[in-house]
Amino acid sequence: MPIMPGMWLHFMKRAVVINFKDGTKKELLLSKATSIRNEGIDAGMLHLDRLFDGSWRLTFTDSIAKDFSSVDSLTVLRED
C-alpha cells in the first residue's frame, strides 16, 4: 500500500506523558518538535506550547538535543 500525504499520523505517535501518583496519566500529543540553535551560548531551554488544534509544540535548544529524531523518550524524575 503506498503511503499518501498525511498517513504518517497513523504510524507515528509523539507525546509527553505525565504519570500521576494515583495511577492516572495525561498525554500531551505533540504535533511539532523544534530545535533552536544557540551557538556560543551555554544555556538550555525546553518549552511546551498548546496550539489551537489542542496538540502541543515542544521547543528546545540544540544544547539539549540537535535533532528530535534522535530522542527516544522524555522522563521527568521526581525525588522527594
Per the domain annotation, does 11 fall within a domain? no
CA angle 45, 39, 47 (to 5 degrees): 15
Per the domain annotation, does 51 fall within a domain? yes
Q: Which residues contact 74 (CB under 8 A, 6 or more apart)?
A: 16
> Considering its fold, how many domains does the chain have in total?
1
pTM over 0.75: no
Per the domain annotation, does 62 fall within a domain? yes
Q: Which is more confident, 52 or 77?
A: 52
Which pLDDT does position 1 carry in this prediction? 46
Per the domain annotation, does 59 fall within a domain? yes
Its domain, for residue 46, covers 34-72
Per the domain annotation, does 54 fall within a domain? yes
Is a pLDDT exceeding 80 seen at residue 43? no
